[in-house]
Chains A and B, each alone.
Chain A
Amino acid sequence: MLADDDRLNIVVITNILQTEGYVIQQATSGEKALELYDSFQPDLVLLDVIMPGIDGFATCRELHERYGESVAPVIFITAKNESEDVVEGLAAGGADYLTKPFHRKEALARIRTQLQNRELIAQQKQLVAELKKANDAKNKFLGMAAHDLRNPLASIRGLAEFLRDGTVGQLTPDQIDLVNTIHDTSQSMLSQVNELLDVATIEAGELKVHKEAQDLGELVAKSVYLNNINAARKQTQITFDPPATPINGAVDAQKIRQVMDNLLSNAVKYSPPGSKIRVALSGDRPACKISVQDQGPGIPDDERHRLFKDFGILSVRPTGGEKSTGLGLAICRKIVEAHRGAIMALNLPGGGCEFSILLPI
């Protein structure tokens, strides 16, 4: 669409553009341009700046007001070319500026550029929409698959335990050994499936945090106690000195326990057998801090950025041959952030790493 009050200009420009194959809608004023925009749906608007009635800048502003982001790019055409006017034109939402008399080739090139941009932006929007759809489908599928795998794995683990306990008859030591393997493997798979399910749920935006007032010291102590059972297998010990006065806060106990389990099992995993893991809880309104110090190799500097990302597996290896999905810390971060807290990792000067979470209470 071309808007100019000078009929001669309109004829000249129209000829140039029609020769190139463009379809032109003429308008003799800003008001007329606004009137015709909707029915013509131009891909580009050429606006003369100086027109009686509303000028080019005002027309451009009005177009943006009415049509927002999807409005066609506007190129101002005018005899004026002081830099303030250029600035005002761009501020009014114009994409480019052509001064009269203009070179035919230059004008055509600029018009072509704006049209190309418009097309690229439209393509990009569509790609993003398709990607989002694909991502949603992936999350849904992931959730369903993980969900379907969970029950059978839980049953395998449970039945293996019954076998091991002798509930359905005594087993020979060799048989117990095989059953232990079945049990541990299915347990490991169950953990991985649960992590995948967590990720799918979180990515689908379904992470809901139900906060209730708790004694945080008790929450941490319980986690430490349960994780020590596992740690003992590696002769590793987790210690926790509860704070002198109870620290209460509103958190989602189940989710924070999940974070604690993750941090503690990582600490045990990456520290050599026989290590001491130190857990501490401190702070008061407005926030508390829970920290876990391990005796592992620490986080390599060039891998820090991957630490809390999905599938961010580092070069550091667990010291007991344990498996890692690389999802645990990403899930921790999302849970902590859902509490409007923060999680971080610091290498300790004497070796080892300290993971801490800050939670508003």
Chain B
Amino acid sequence: MRFDGKILIADDEAHVRKFIGLIAKQLGSPQILEAKDGREAMEIYQRERPDLVLLDVNMPVQNGLEALKQITSADPEAIVVMLTSLANRETVDEALQSGAANYLRKDTPKDELLAAFRETIAQCFATD
């Protein structure tokens, strides 16, 4: 299954952007955008309107949860997947309640991440 949409990856660590970027390419997306903090993520989101956002929770300048809330309040249909090193219950709940489509740990094996992204896309775009 190919995903034709634009993907935005926001993370302050370059190696994570590279790693998640390769996974995103496997989804088939023709364009992958990168941001290194929450504010940059917002700017790029507004300009490019990506179909899928992969958002790190802990970022400087503006953190992922804040960016998530801004994105989903401006666009309730936005598909945002949170990526994190932690996974404490409170943050997960807050993110899901603020409109995140999924919440994954960055140290999940790559095949599982790929499968999780595919599943999220299938669920969210099934209604279209």
A residues engaging B (CB < 8 A)?
147, 150-159, 161-162, 167-168, 190, 194, 208, 210
User: How far does the alpha carbon of A194 sit from the alpha carbon of B86 in the complex, in Å?
Assistant: 11
Q: Would you call A151 and B110 a contact (CB within 8 A)?
A: no
Closest to B56 in A: A151
Q: Would you call B22 and A162 a contact (CB within 8 A)?
A: yes
Q: Would you call A161 and B110 a contact (CB within 8 A)?
A: yes
Contact code string B67-107 (vs A, CB < 8 Å = 1, else 0): 00000000000000000011001000000000000000011
User: How far does the alpha carbon of A147 sit from the alpha carbon of B57 in the complex, in Å?
Assistant: 14
Q: Would you call B15 and A147 a contact (CB within 8 A)?
A: no
Q: Would you call B107 and A159 a contact (CB within 8 A)?
A: no
The total of Cβ contacts below 8 Å across the A-B interface reads 47
CB distance from B60 to the nearest CB of A (A): 14
Closest to A210 in B: B89
Q: Would you call B13 and A151 a contact (CB within 8 A)?
A: yes
Contacts A152-B15, A155-B18, A167-B22 given; indicate if A162 touches B110 (C-beta within 8 A).
yes
Q: What 9 A-B pairs come out closest when comparing CB atoms? A: A154-B107, A155-B15, A155-B19, A158-B110, A158-B19, A162-B22, A151-B85, A161-B110, A150-B107
Q: Would you call B22 and A151 a contact (CB within 8 A)?
A: no
User: How far does the alpha carbon of A194 sit from the alpha carbon of B85 in the complex, in Å?
Assistant: 11
User: How far does the alpha carbon of A159 sit from the alpha carbon of B127 in the complex, in Å?
Assistant: 34
- Among A153, A154, A159, residue most surrounded by chain B Cβ atoms (within 10 Å): A154
Tell me which residues across on chain A come within 8 A of B13, comparing CB atoms. Answer: 151-152, 155
CB distance from B18 to the nearest CB of A (A): 7
CB distance from B112 to the nearest CB of A (A): 11
Tell me which residues across on chain B come within 8 A of A167, comparing CB atoms. Answer: 22, 26
Is B124 interfacial (CB 8 A cutoff)?
no
Q: Would you call A155 and B22 a contact (CB within 8 A)?
A: no
Q: Would you call B107 and A153 a contact (CB within 8 A)?
A: yes
Tell me which residues across on chain B come within 8 A of A210, comparing CB atoms. Answer: 89
Q: Would you call A151 and B86 a contact (CB within 8 A)?
A: no
Is B16 interfacial (CB 8 A cutoff)?
yes
Closest to A146 in B: B85
- A-facing residues in B3-20 (Cβ within 8 Å): 13, 15-16, 18-19
User: How far does the alpha carbon of A46 sit from the alpha carbon of B102 in the complex, in Å?
Assistant: 71
The binding surface of chain A is classed by DSSP as helix
The 8 Å CB contact of B106, one of A151, A161, A194, is A151
CB distance from B34 to the nearest CB of A (A): 14
Given contacts A147-B86, A158-B109, 9 further A-B contacts (CB under 8 A): A147-B85, A151-B15, A151-B106, A154-B19, A154-B107, A154-B108, A158-B23, A159-B22, A162-B22
CB distance from A284 to the nearest CB of B (A): 30
User: How far does the alpha carbon of A159 sit from the alpha carbon of B13 in the complex, in Å?
Assistant: 14
Closest to A206 in B: B88
Contact code string B104-128 (vs A, CB < 8 Å = 1, else 0): 0011111000000000000000000
User: How far does the alpha carbon of A161 sit from the alpha carbon of B111 in the complex, in Å?
Assistant: 9
Tell me which residues across on chain A come within 8 A of B106, comparing CB atoms. Answer: 150-151, 154-155
CB distance from A227 to the nearest CB of B (A): 15
User: How far does the alpha carbon of A99 sit from the alpha carbon of B32 in the complex, in Å?
Assistant: 91
CB distance from A230 to the nearest CB of B (A): 13
User: How far does the alpha carbon of A316 sit from the alpha carbon of B109 in the complex, in Å?
Assistant: 31
User: How far does the alpha carbon of A156 sit from the alpha carbon of B18 in the complex, in Å?
Assistant: 10
Tell me which residues across on chain A come within 8 A of B26, comparing CB atoms. Answer: 167
Contact code string B32-44 (vs A, CB < 8 Å = 1, else 0): 0000000000000
Q: Would you call B86 and A190 a contact (CB within 8 A)?
A: no
User: How far does the alpha carbon of A158 sit from the alpha carbon of B24 in the complex, in Å?
Assistant: 13
Tell me which residues across on chain B come within 8 A of A157, comparing CB atoms. Answer: 109
Q: Would you call A159 and B18 a contact (CB within 8 A)?
A: yes
The 8 Å CB contact of A150, one of B15, B19, B85, is B85
User: How far does the alpha carbon of A150 sit from the alpha carbon of B110 in the complex, in Å?
Assistant: 14
Tell me which residues across on chain A come within 8 A of B85, comparing CB atoms. Answer: 147, 150-151
User: How far does the alpha carbon of A78 sit from the alpha carbon of B22 in the complex, in Å?
Assistant: 88
Tell me which residues across on chain A come within 8 A of B107, comparing CB atoms. Answer: 150-151, 153-154, 190, 194
The 8 Å CB contact of B16, one of A147, A155, A161, is A155
User: How far does the alpha carbon of A158 sit from the alpha carbon of B16 in the complex, in Å?
Assistant: 10
- Among B16, B22, B23, residue most surrounded by chain A Cβ atoms (within 10 Å): B22
User: How far does the alpha carbon of A158 sit from the alpha carbon of B106 in the complex, in Å?
Assistant: 10
